[in-house]
């Protein structure tokens, strides 16, 4: 009965057949990738790094030579000048751009409002405005415009307001206006 084996038994007894080429190809590919990576690493470590260090030493020696060629009193003068330039740059960067205040006022002022004086306090970042409005309603609208302004103003408050009545030669009331002072706190 040994000759009467079924097809399934024959296939199971055969075992697994490996293809000869694939494991070697994968190993050769891996070896090539490893050798290439190692070559790049060693080239960067011993070739490029050494080159960069030599360039740094060369530039350092040029700097030392330049330092020795400039007299010490000129070096001190240059350091003082450099410090002053840095301080001026810092002050200029920290200052508030005052022309933007006038642009803001021009764009955000009702046409019936007139300004008699504008004072800017750079330390406190405040603008004090003295002006005249035709009536309290217009003044309230103007203060509300300042309060709703985004980007430039952090706070707007009405400092004072009073009615002004102008009289003609006979003593009759000709016109009345409102004198006011507004304080604007600017954003930094």
pLDDT 10s digits, 89-131: 877 666 656 667 788 888 888 888 888 888 888 788 888 999 8
Instruction: Let me know: does 156 contact 138? Beta carbons within 8 Å.
Output: no
Question: Considering the domain boundaries, does residue 14 fall inside one?
Answer: no
Let me know whether 103 and 150 are in one domain.
yes
Question: Considering the domain boundaries, does residue 144 fall inside one?
Answer: yes
Question: Considering the domain boundaries, does residue 128 fall inside one?
Answer: yes
Mean pLDDT of 9-31: 74
Whole-number percent of the chain with pLDDT over 90: 14
Question: Considering the domain boundaries, does residue 16 fall inside one?
Answer: no
Question: Considering the domain boundaries, does residue 115 fall inside one?
Answer: yes
Q: How many residues are there in the chain?
A: 188
Q: Which helix (H) or strand (E) holds 180?
A: strand 173-186
Domains held by the chain: number: 2
Let me know whether 128 and 162 are in one domain.
yes
Pick the last residue of a domain from 28, 63, 91: 91
| Residue that wins the pLDDT comparison between 56 and 153 | 56
Dist CA 184 CA 128 (whole Å)? 6
Question: Considering the domain boundaries, does residue 158 fall inside one?
Answer: yes
Domain limits for position 171: 98-186
Let me know whether 51 and 80 are in one domain.
yes
Q: Write down the residue that tokens 């003593």 correspond to.
A: 171
Give me the sheet containing 153-167, strands edge to edge. 114-121, 126-133, 173-186, 153-167
Mean pLDDT of 30-42: 94
User: Could you read off the pLDDT of 72-85 as tens digits, one per residue?
Assistant: 888 888 888 888 88
């Amino acid at each position: 009965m040994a000759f009467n084996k079924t097809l399934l038994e024959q296939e199971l007894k055969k075992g697994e057949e490996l293809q000869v080429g694939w494991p070697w190809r994968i190993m050769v590919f891996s070896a090539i990738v490893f050798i290439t990576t190692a070559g790049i690493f060693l080239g960067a470590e011993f070739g490029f790094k050494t080159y960069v260090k030599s360039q740094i030493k060369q530039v350092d020696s040029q700097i030392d030579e330049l330092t020795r060629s400039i007299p010490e009193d000129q070096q001190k003068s240059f350091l003082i000048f450099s410090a002053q330039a840095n301080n001026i740059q810092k002050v200029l960067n920290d200052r508030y751009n005052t022309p933007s205040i006038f642009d803001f006022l021009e764009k955000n002022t009702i046409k019936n409002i007139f300004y008699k004086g504008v004072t800017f306090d750079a330390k406190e970042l405040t603008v004090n405005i003295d002006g005249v409005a035709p009536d309290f309603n217009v003044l309230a609208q103007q203060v509300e415009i300042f309060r709703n302004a985004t980007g430039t103003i952090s706070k707007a408050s009405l400092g004072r307001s009073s009615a002004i009545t102008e009289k003609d030669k006979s003593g009759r009331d000709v016109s009345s206006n409102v004198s006011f002072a507004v304080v604007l706190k600017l954003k930094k």
